Chains A and B, each alone.
Chain A
Amino acid sequence: MRVGLFVPCYIDQLYPTVGRASLELLQKSGCEVIFLEDILCCGQPMANSGYEHYTTNKNYASPFLEALPNVDYVVAPSASCIYHLTHHLLKEELEQDKLQKFKEITEFLHDVKTNFVVQSYFPHRVALHKSCHGLRGLQLAKASELGGTAFSKIENLLNKVEGLHLVIPAQSDECCGFGGSFSVFENAVSVRMGEDKLKNVLHEKVEYLTATDMSCFMHLEGVFKENESVVKIVHITEILNSSL
């Protein structure tokens, strides 16, 4: 299976290890991985701030459209980018079955690579933050607001990691307060939400906090540092990719 790896702009620039873990993890799952070098950004930062019209031009949509025929799936370690692609940027451009080819990485490993055996070792107490776009946007798990039977693709994967003690802190479904430019324009509320997240995580006495989205962590890591917290952040791909 050929997979195009899309490494979003902020992961490329700020969290390269997440891109690396994603690449290796996809390879371990038996995929031929092609790094989609020409794709820089899905346009979400502008679109969520009301400037979608800056990004609908060929420079944003077309690299994705061009990449698609060469691969079976386009995978990214970022639910919010995949959400933006499938619900906004490419929504008018592609049929539903083509849109299905864009997958967040845990979704891909869970739903497509169903016989992929996670062979990882991460002997730590880890809390999970359920990032909004993954949780509600891509439905990687059932959000607490909804009725029906609970499920979680994220937890299913994490539960297979050897040595890992998974903890779901209080209000794990609640937004961390990032929200793109919200975090700058609405600084007070944003920081406050981050601090509350930290409080709930600290309560669990964990060593790590993990999530499917580094964008949450851009903000949370900053808040954690400011508050001199000992809790480290780690992207889910880095846990799944950590070896025995």
Chain B
Amino acid sequence: MPQTLLEGLLLGFVYAMVALGYTMVYGVLGLINFAHSEVFMIGAVIGLEVFRFWGNPDAPVISNPFLLLFVALVFAAVGSGTMAVLVERFAYRPLRKRGSKNILVPMITAIGVSFLLQDLTRIYAALRHNEFNMQYRTFDALNTTLMLPLQTTIQVKGIIIIVVSVLMLVGLTYLVNRTKLGKAIRAVSQDMQTAALMGINPDVIISRTFLIGGSLGGVAGVLFGLLYTNVTPYSGVLPGLKAFTSAVLGGIGNIPGAMVGGLVLGQLETLSGTYLPFLTNGNFGTEYKDVFAFLTLVLLLLFRPQGLFGQNVSEKV
């Protein structure tokens, strides 16, 4: 049991990291940025390339795995952040300029962007490595198993995941609540036009929001790749979906909510994955963990339509 809980916690932190990116963008633009899964996947690919390039086992430029991981995280954050900004600049901003109030239009664009990025990555992987499944390098130092109390074990990379995601949450909360940029982000998310009248340039703020959300996604991507050791151009989709579910679960647009949503979803998934076969005499196996997660989401939304931490927005008539 404690081991299961711990694994759920790890999974939950991964979802939570991705969910933060969703929630940032949603909070400001009210847009489900489906392309965030691909930003996350591209982060994983960038991390992989850094490991291959500087961590080549035969002639490593950087031999310390922790330093290498740090470099990979930095590169992935910068790369994914840039990618997110570019997506915003060339796909979403033209729509905003046209002033369409239909929420479906930017969402379809987001889907289009995500298709585009998936296949671009596929072309890249095909041309450069001639492969579809890209294997992450394994590092002994990161895979070392540590004993914890209550007969639980955790790998070093697990601890890194937990530490990094907690740092992300704290940093993001600080950024949004205490800094000038955070204030501007909140102003833009409240009312873009009024914010513009107050001397804030919404385009710049939105761009920075995408930069931050994208970099968080990139970091999450590297850690995800490290955990599952395998990346494909489509491996962003499922975690992206789960992360979005977490964001909704926690009350979309709410930063701590996204974190809690991710943790809850992670626990639900591992617990149901582990115990469903026992409870149903093996008739319903681990495959149903997604069903369980989604049905819980439906149930929760029925009773709290605004999510766990969301505020009830009263309707303007």
Do A and B belong to a common assembly? no
